[in-house]
Structure 1
Amino acid sequence: MKGAMAMEIIPKSRYPGDPQGQAFASGVQSGWVVASINGQNVLSEDFGKIMDLLDDEVADPRFSKSTALALEKQGGRMAEPAAAPLQVTFASIPGYVYKGAELKEDGQDGFAR
């Protein structure tokens, strides 16, 4: 799979520095694609490499079961994490309308579909 798209943006920051609210706080919108990380164009890169550059295990389906097995199967990380602070540039796809479910606030879990 090539590229990475912002999909389910948590619609508020729960507290200062909330890792799940940073996209919202920065104005990122569902349906935008990751165009570059620290100036490196990643539009055509593998999804796994982009997640490794972002060091994002939450959004990476390879980590949904067993991190060790997933990494072993693919032969290790596809990239080392990019140097902090990260500068991520997003782009919209002309004519594309994101049709994902709207996230609703859930008193127990935060936000859910």
Structure 2
Amino acid sequence: MAMEIIPKSRYPDDPQGQAFASGVQSGWVVTSINGQNVQNEDFGKIMDLLDDEVADPRFSKSTALALEKQGGRLAEPAAAPLQVQFNSIPGYVYKGAQLKEDGQDGFAR
């Protein structure tokens, strides 16, 4: 699920503003990656397809440990360029933090 969307794109292809620039909203979920339906897939597999990590490496001792705990990769990364489809969940209302611009670090809760 997309949780904290940076509310603006600072420059073309800004990796932290791509979701916003594409119209993705907080609370939306990934439904397909490169045309493959992932709606019923394990979260770890979706993250592996996106070549992302379930455990944030800033808070784990190592990415290797996080992968080992998960049982290894559940999927190989999808081929670039990625086409990720998001969709809202009917009836779901996102109640998480909306990021606001912070003069020092960019954006904060």
Question: TM-score of the superposition, structure 1-length normalised?
Answer: 0.85
Per-residue deviation at 1:101? 1.0
Q: 1:60 to 1:92 in 2, by over 3 A?
A: farther
Paired residue total? 109
SS at match of 1:43: coil
Is the CA contact (8 Å cut-off) linking 1:53 and 1:79 kept in structure 2? Answer: yes
Question: TM-score of the superposition, structure 2-length normalised?
Answer: 0.88
RMSD in angstroms over aligned alpha carbons? Answer: 2.2
Q: What per-residue deviation string (whole Å, max 9, x for no partner) do you get for residues 50-87 of structure 1?
A: 11111124985797542011112223211111011111
Is the CA contact (8 Å cut-off) linking 1:62 and 1:70 kept in structure 2? Answer: no
**Stretches of structure 1 lacking an aligned partner (at least 5 in a row):** none
Is the CA contact (8 Å cut-off) linking 1:63 and 1:70 kept in structure 2? Answer: no
Q: 1:68 to 1:61 in 2, by over 3 A?
A: closer
Is the CA contact (8 Å cut-off) linking 2:9 and 2:17 kept in structure 1? Answer: yes
In structure 1, C-alpha distance between the alignment counterparts of 2:54 and 2:17, rounded to whole Å: 13
Is the CA contact (8 Å cut-off) linking 2:55 and 2:66 kept in structure 1? Answer: no
**Stretches of structure 2 lacking an aligned partner (at least 5 in a row):** none
Per-residue deviation at 1:32? 0.8
Per-residue deviation at 1:108? 2.0
In structure 2, C-alpha distance between the alignment counterparts of 1:58 and 1:72, rounded to whole Å: 11
Q: 1:46 to 1:58 in 2, by over 3 A?
A: closer
